[in-house]
Amino acid sequence: MGKIIAIACHKGGVGKTTTAAALGGILAAKRRRVLLVDLDAQKNLSTTFLEEPYERTTAEAFAQRRDLPEVPVRKNLFLAPASDDLCNLDAALSGAKASLGKERILADLVADIRDRYDFIIVDSPAQLGLATANALVAADMVLIPINADAYSMGGLGQIMELVSSAKAYYNSGLDVLGVFLTRYNGRRIVDRKVRCSLAEKYGDLALRTAIRENSAIVQAPLCRMDITAYEADSNGAKDYAALCDEILTIIKKRRK
């Protein structure tokens, strides 16, 4: 049965989509079968790999509560693309009948297909709405990227609270896989201080790997590629490879 990893943080621009794309590409290259699920109305994960229009999207799957799309990207890598209609997800599911079990829609959608994958990676929006709640209720683990600044640290506290609520009321098996820094620059004092603060406050949940600032990370989506496919020798690609190895080691240890 495949592991479901939700990537979440209550702040935009911290690298959620970049992380989903990079980990998906790396795991696929490692011969793991991966499904990326885009739950963000901005569709950045979808447009990183696929050209619009999409035959079917996650918004339609949510509305109809069936048939999560599985579009082939390349060997071992598949994508469930998003659409603009995700902007209206909370409103669409606000009626009495529609709202029943609305936090569990994604969990139900992946239940029939998770055996076909080694990993299902869910890219959630910055807003802590219904899409993010669905990601946390469906997931086995949540991975939290943040920038080295005060605003991201504040967002970290909010997503941790939401994870605790999801665990308490909907998904007792949910674990935090880890928290890690993106756009990291070790020459900046604030970056180093935030890294130390993470380690002090969260202990083993603060991952050792930090993703350094790297122009290739910004350029890769413009070429419809993840960072590792775009420039494998870049600092960004090397850091994400290290992050993937660290994550796989953690998952292996937790299985024991």
Q: Exposed, middle or buried, 219 (CB in 10 Å: 0-12/13-18/19+)?
A: middle
Total-model pTM: 0.95
pLDDT at 149: 81
Round to the nearest angstrom and report the end-to-end CA distance of the chain: 16
pLDDT at 242: 98
State how far the Cα of 94 lies from the Cα of 153, in Å rounded to an integer.
31
Phi and psi (nearest 5°) for 145?
-90, 145
Q: What is the mean pLDDT of the chain?
A: 92
Structure confidence by residue, pLDDT tens digits, 222-246: 888 999 899 999 999 999 999 999 9
State how far the Cα of 122 lies from the Cα of 8, in Å rounded to an integer.
9
CATH superfamily placement of domain 3-255: P-loop containing nucleotide triphosphate hydrolases (3.40.50.300)
The pLDDT of residue 96 is above 80: no
pLDDT at 254: 86
